[in-house]
Amino acid sequence: MPLNATSSAILNHLNASAPDMKAIGPIEFRAYSAQMVQPADPGDRIVTQDVDADGVPVRIYRREEAGDAEPVLVFYHGGGYIACGIESHDRLCHRLARLAECAIVSVDYRLAPEHVFPAAVDDALAALRWVATNGAHYGLDISRLAVGGDSAGATLATVVAARARDEGGPAIAHQLLIYPGTDMVGETASAREFAQGYFLDKDFSELCISAYVRDPADRAHPWASPARAADLSRLPPATVLTAECDPLRDEGRNYAQSLRDAGVPAAYTDYSGVFHGFVSMFGIVAEADQAVDDAAAALKKAFGTA
């Protein structure tokens, strides 16, 4: 189906105000995207704390009434590896912490072009290991640990899960992957269909990838394109969420199937009539509210709190 009416109106507004991706660079796009940050809802009643996680800034989210140690989601934001950060995803982390009844640690990994591949991956893993080592001091139940994120952050989450599997832990209970990019080399039907005019267009993707992965040969590296990993077995169970009108839709769907083929439980949901980035639009786009609810339910099930 085409974009629904709400999504179409939002996309028209974004397209009308967006800069020409062929005429700007990563730093200019970062400044543009910072203008779209929306405040968190105080009704979520979340307490936050900013901490240095062995050199990687993180923000810890806990519900006001939380008493005992809570299970924790280590969250990696999207932004094409060149933009966004803790503030851009603050609203989403507040809502997920409330609905999933868990703590969240949001990771402010280094961005390109100042810091190129694999700096973001290394920061993502360092933050995860810091949580596993130090989380108990901050009210986190490190025996129930998940990783997740949206877009580039979802890619980082699944790459970190693979590195944790191969490099001595920590143990991860679940992966929450919201429209992940999983293959920088191949081209899918959805990438062709939604190449222009759907927020995450081909020009923007190339801007991000070329800034982050300087050596074209590295685009096929499993830390950049996890779908190309030689072994996807023994990864944590996954929840994969995609948007119908998104160039990355088929990458997410195919990755979920590849996980299943490798023996990894992977639940997959595609949301009709919406475009890339829709999950952050909860309260405006009905499908976003459903996706956040679904993500929270998946985390509660993984943590044994459902």
Q: Which of 123, 201, 246, 294 is catalytic?
A: 246
Using CB atoms within 10 A of its CB, is residue 217 exposed (0-12), middle (13-18) or buried (19+)?
A: exposed
Is 11 in a helix, a strand, or coil? helix
Confirm whether 276 is a catalytic residue.
Answer: yes
CB 170, CB 132: distance < 8 Å: yes
3-state class (DSSP) for residue 196: coil
115 is catalytic: no
Q: Which of 7, 88, 106, 151 is catalytic?
A: 151
Catalytic choice (77, 276, 280, 294): 276
| Annotated catalytic residue 89 | no
Degrees (nearest 5) of the Cα angle 56, 90, 173?
A: 65
Q: Which long-range contacts (CB under 8 A, 24 or more apart) does 141-145 make?
A: 141/68, 141/69, 141/70, 141/71, 141/72, 141/103, 142/72, 142/170, 144/71, 144/72, 144/173, 144/302, 144/303, 144/304, 145/71, 145/72, 145/74, 145/170, 145/171, 145/172, 145/173
Please name every residue paired with 178 in a beta bridge, in sequence order, or none if there are none. Answer: 150, 241
Alpha helices for 58-214 (secondary structure H): 90-100, 119-134, 152-166, 189-193, 202-212
Q: Which residues are the active-site residues?
A: 151, 246, 276
